[in-house]
Each structure stands twice: as structure tokens, then as C-alpha cells.
Structure 1
């Protein structure tokens, strides 16, 4: 398997007004490639915005991919995964994406990958459209391993409800997308060490390989067997579309959000279905989603602006800076000031 490239020529990039047309908006000759030993950096075309895709190839075809981007406008990536799709570990540090999947009953038809969370997945022989938002800076680290990478670590019988072990034991058809929750302090430390790797040459390769395997180990450890049991999707696609619309309304009115009842009425759902839909699509409550979005905005402002803590609190919908600081500390286990100083 060649090292995975998010902007390879098989991916079709679509504008928002043309998302269902097979129409590329980027000429691959517009991208700038830098190659240095085992590392490749792909700089984004000006049509897309500012940013890069950095790929580091390690032993055994293990690959670390780092993406940083500030898009000019919302972008859609239309992909068709091949049968040799790699085992993927995925960490969102900022930004979010919405993914629609097609022609599969094993994966949700629509799901969100959001800031501060991590995912483990294997999605061979699958077609999808991923929507990247331009509202916030995207910072993502992914680790790709060929399917046979872990076979030397695990020998066992097939277990019907555990697709990870089935995959490791040779079932290449095993298909799953597992949301594993918040990036805990151990995960954040390992991700930071990848970003700030101080080494070169062989030492760099050994160090980054150890960090990649550490992140896989932390994810494996966090897996509970209950998450492998398939869950019946209870809402229809039309209802899920209305939940997506409610999410958009919530984001646009994040400084003065509607009540739950008002939001449900705006999108044509009752309160119960709206709450059920947010749990199904975003794994949180309606106002839990709003809280996460506000904290994501706060992170970006603390990192990329010179605003005071009080000004940032107001920008993200908090009239009381102390209430904002408490909310931020609850989410990220540090004060806004400490985060600002470190970034």
C-alpha cells in the first residue's frame, strides 16, 4: 500500500453549489509538493485557502499525516475507498467535518467528526462525501497502518462482535467507524510530541513510530466491547436532515440561541426527536453541541488573536468572563489564560 494522500487524483473536490456534480475545482499541478527523505508536504492551492498536508512515512508502511488548513469556503471531498483501505486512527484538534456514506448498512449514513475528539476506523469498499467547514481552522492528525501491521501482536479466534480483533486476525472486510470520545491528557501529550518532535534521521523515525503506536494503544485501551454492538438507527433520513439544519441554526445563532422548543419548531420536529437526533448524529445533547462549538471558537480565538479573555468570552456568547473561564476549564482542564500562553 502506498502512503495515503488526502488530495490524491482519485479524490474529487467540489464547490458547495456543485456538490453532486463530478466536477473538480482544483488542478493538481496547482499544488506544491516538498519531499525530504521520508516526509512529503503538500501545500494547498490558493483556491482552497491556506494550509498543508504533511505525511511522514515510517517503518512497515506506517504513516503519520498532519493537516492544518484555513479554507476559503466550505469544501466537499468525494472519495471512493479501495479494498486495501488502511486501519486509521484519527484525532481532531480543531475544526470539524460531516461525512455522508453510501451503499452500506454497516456505517451510519451521516456522522460528525468534531474538535477535541478521536476516532478509529476501517472503511474499505465504501463511497463517501466529506464536508469540511471553513468556519474554523482545521488541525487533524491521522495515523494509517496497513491491515496486516498488527497481526504479529495478536493471534486469536474470530469474535463476532469485535471488528477490530477480526480485522487484526485477517478479516479485511471488517468495516467500522468508532467515536472514542474526548482527547484525554495522555492523547494530547502524545499528539503534541508528534508536532514538536525535536529529532532527525533514525532517531526521529524511532520516536515518531513509538508515538504512533502509543496512540493506537491508548485508543485500543479506551474501547469498550459495548461500542462494537451494532446500534439500530432509529430516525429516518428526512429527520436526520432536519437535525443537521437545526445544528446549522444553532451555530449561526450561537450568541443568542433559541430555546429547545423554538429550535424544534423551526426545523419541523418535536423536542424528543430533536434530542434523539443530536444524540444519534453528534453523541451529545442539543446544548452540549452548542457548548462544544463555543469552546472550539474560543480555542481558535485564544490561539490566533490578541483579544483579551473578556473579549473572547463575549465573542463566544458569555456575558460573564468568570462563567466562560469555568466552562473552558471544564472542557480542556486548563484556564483560558494558560491555553493562550502555551499557544
Structure 2
């Protein structure tokens, strides 16, 4: 099968104020840019390439990029003035990066769906929000951008939680037109940036609580990862504590301080948010979703979903299939 290579520029054209399609994309794929406000562009990539190939993108001094991979596996090679970086994009991956004066090549296979969302921001965008240095502790690069007018090199990977995945999916399936569409895009884009910043921030602790050591925080995060990867057969609290290398009392207290709930409160919340993501994706029916997320029966799942979100999963599925906007109370996210 012939491989097709395509070259485009993703440097945001300042004169564009409406949504437009980028030219010369591989057959079967679309790339859409939406200029939302000063310094904030939305990039939507979706499709199923009819043949293997690559997409080469260039940037100048800016932007800083937040990207969210929803489906497909793509390989990236980024060449910049400090060297070369290679990584693989996969479902559930969030990336925050800045590569001034760089060229990135995305390589993909044929007949595999690719869905991803990227947000390009400039220092001008953050000047509208930041009042003083240090307001984004997970991103010291922003302070440098405010001071020097350009972003330094940066590459961070952050697993996209269910709330991020839902918001990114909604950007690809906006139900509105005209000015309502642009407002919807902007609100979801800001949600995604806020969630990415929050996920990168150092953990905060309750009033009067003794802070945990960096080693203990690593163990708590290790326990969280292990719990999230074993939804169908979750470990007991004692087993999880042993995996993390902590006693179960301190582990439970750590979850309350870092994630705002107990170990199994976190598990329940994660299961429900994961189930909502699966409903959004359309990859499973409700019965399959119930068992895939660790519920003992579809009826148990339906009751838990209703109690958490205030709507039956069957009704939510109908709304999603009709591509109608529905407001779900977010609650605290895992």
C-alpha cells in the first residue's frame, strides 16, 4: 500500500476569525481550525485514513499546545532546535507541550480511526488570566512566557481523566451552529485547559493536615493508578495498601487529602465517570458498560448512575445519540 505524506502549517493565521478546513489532508481525514479568541485556537482532527502516511506540521515561536488523544495510535517525531523527541499518541493521552521553531511529523496506519483535539495558546491568552508569577505552579513555563513573550521548550504527558475525555469528545460533535457553536467551543476549550492545569498542580492538603512526603505522594499516586486499571476486579484496601507500600489507614487518609474522598469513594467516582465516557464513545451497549466498569449488574449500574448524575443512563444514551447537549453535574473529579 502506498504511503502518502502531507505537509501543512499549524501556525495560527491571525486574520482568520471563523472555522475553516485545512487543505491537502490525507484522504479520509479532516483537520479543522477554529479561532476562538485572541491567542486561543482550537484544532480538530478526525477521520479514518484510507492509506498509511504522515502529516507534517510546523510552528514558529508559538503556540503552547494542549492536546487530547481520543482514538487511534499515532507516532510523533518532533524536531526542534534542542534535538528530537519521539512519542506515541494513544487513547487517553493528554500532552502539554511547546516546541518553538519546530517541525512535528505524525505517522499513522490505514483504516484505523483517529480522533484528537488540540488547543493552541499564546502568551497573550494567559496575560488575560494571570495577575502574578506562580499562579500556575505546574507550569513555570508560563511565568517565563509572561516575562519574555515566548514559551520555552516544554513536554508533559498527563493521562486524560473521564471529564477531559468527555469535554474533548463534545468538541468533535458540537450540536450548535453560528455564534452558539463558537460559544460552545470556547467554553469546552477553557474547561479542558483548566482541567489540564489542575491535573498538573501539586496536591493541596486539608486545613490542619500534616503534608505527605514526596515519597508518600508517589505511593498514593501509584495506588490510584493501580485502582484505575483494575475496575472489574479491584483490590481490597489491604491489597492496595500492600501494593503502594503504605498502611491502609494512611493510604485512606492520603486519598481523602489528595483526591477529596476515600479509596473506594474514588473508585466509585472513577467507575461512574468512566461509564459516562464509554456512553459518549458509543463503543459498548449499557449492559457491557456496566460490567466493564465493575458493577455487579446493569440495574446496580443504572441506580448508581442516576444517583450520581441525576439521569438514567438509558436516557443519557438517547441524548448522546441524538447529539443533544445535556447538562450533567460534574461533581469532584478523580
TM-score range, shorter chain: 0.5 to 0.7
Q: CA RMSD in A?
A: 4.0
2:179 to 167, 188, 202: 202
Cα distance in 2 for residues equivalent to 1:93 and 1:87: 20
The TM-score normalised by the length of structure 1 is 0.51
Q: Name the residue aligned to 1:72.
A: 50
Secondary structure of the 1:164 match is helix
1:145 to 118, 121, 127: 121
Q: Name the residue aligned to 2:93.
A: 117
Matched-pair contact (CA < 8 Å) for 1:88–1:142 = yes
The TM-score normalised by the length of structure 2 is 0.52
Q: Residue deviations 1:62-108, cap 9 Å, x none?
A: 2222111211222123344322x212111111012212233554x76
Cα distance in 2 for residues equivalent to 1:207 and 1:38: 14
Q: Name the residue aligned to 1:290.
A: none
Give the count of matched residue pairs. Answer: 216
Matched-pair contact (CA < 8 Å) for 1:43–1:51 = no
2:18 to 38, 49, 52: 38
Cα distance in 2 for residues equivalent to 1:160 and 1:70: 35
Per the TM alignment, residue 129 of structure 1 is displaced from its structure 2 partner at its CA by: 2.8
Per the TM alignment, residue 168 of structure 1 is displaced from its structure 2 partner at its CA by: 4.3
Cα distance in 2 for residues equivalent to 1:155 and 1:173: 17
**Shift in CA distance, 168/91, structure 1 to aligned 2, threshold 3 Å:** farther
Aligned pairs (5 A) from 1:256-271: none
1:329 to 264, 277, 293: 293
Give ranges in structure 1 of 5+ residues lacking alignment: 1-14, 17-23, 29-35, 227-298, 310-320
Cα distance in 2 for residues equivalent to 1:176 and 1:211: 24
Matched-pair contact (CA < 8 Å) for 1:98–1:132 = yes
Matched-pair contact (CA < 8 Å) for 1:96–1:132 = yes
Matched-pair contact (CA < 8 Å) for 2:123–2:151 = no
Q: Name the residue aligned to 1:223.
A: 200
2:31 to 48, 53, 56: 53
**Shift in CA distance, 112/169, structure 1 to aligned 2, threshold 3 Å:** farther
Per the TM alignment, residue 125 of structure 1 is displaced from its structure 2 partner at its CA by: 1.5
Per the TM alignment, residue 139 of structure 1 is displaced from its structure 2 partner at its CA by: 0.6
Aligned pairs (5 A) from 1:141-220: 141-157=117-133, 162-181=140-159, 183-220=160-197
**Shift in CA distance, 188/168, structure 1 to aligned 2, threshold 3 Å:** farther
Matched-pair contact (CA < 8 Å) for 1:95–1:133 = no
